[in-house]
Amino acid sequence: MSGFARGGNYKALGRLPAGTMNRTEAAYAAHLELLRRSGDVLWWKFEGVKLRLAQNTFYTCDFMLLKRDGQVCMDEVKGFMQEDANVKIKVAASIYPFQFRIVRKTNKAGTMWGVTNVGPDEEAA
């Protein structure tokens, strides 16, 4: 008998509903909030911007933030990166004048983060 017939609690794997953070994103949001309180980040928003890449093709970054120096960053928080997400962030970085970054946890507690720049400033970290 299937889990549905028995009343099992199954859910589809994949994306969460828009506006809902996964655990890694929630940990990064907590990190950004600490940076905001310290003044290193002036403002941040989760899924606050949807960028058009082409007709019927969009990219929604996980976090948009404004750093103390006035730089706008689009941070994509990933544990694992699908190929389409990788292509979209590279296309977005080639079109828009923001700093695009891929952010990954470097420890299980989610207190340390590795940042990789994408696009023209890919070499700078």
Domain contains 28: yes
Span 82-118, pLDDT tens digits: 777 889 999 999 999 999 999 999 987 767 899 999 9
Does residue 76 carry a pLDDT above 90?
Answer: yes
Distance CA(124)–CA(112), nearest Å, equals 19
Domain contains 109: yes
Domain holding 57, by residue range, is 23-118
Mean pLDDT of the residues in the chain: 85
Domain contains 13: no
Number of structural domains in the chain: 1
Q: At CA 84, angle to CA 15 and CA 112, rounded to 5?
A: 65
Place of tokens 């009343």: 7
pLDDT value for 15: 64
Q: Which residues contact 120 (CB under 8 A, 6 or more apart)?
A: 93, 94
Domain contains 36: yes
Domain contains 2: no
Q: What is the mean pLDDT of residues 25-50?
A: 96
CATH number for the domain that contains residue 101: 3.90.1570.10
Domain contains 59: yes
Domain contains 56: yes
pLDDT value for 120: 72
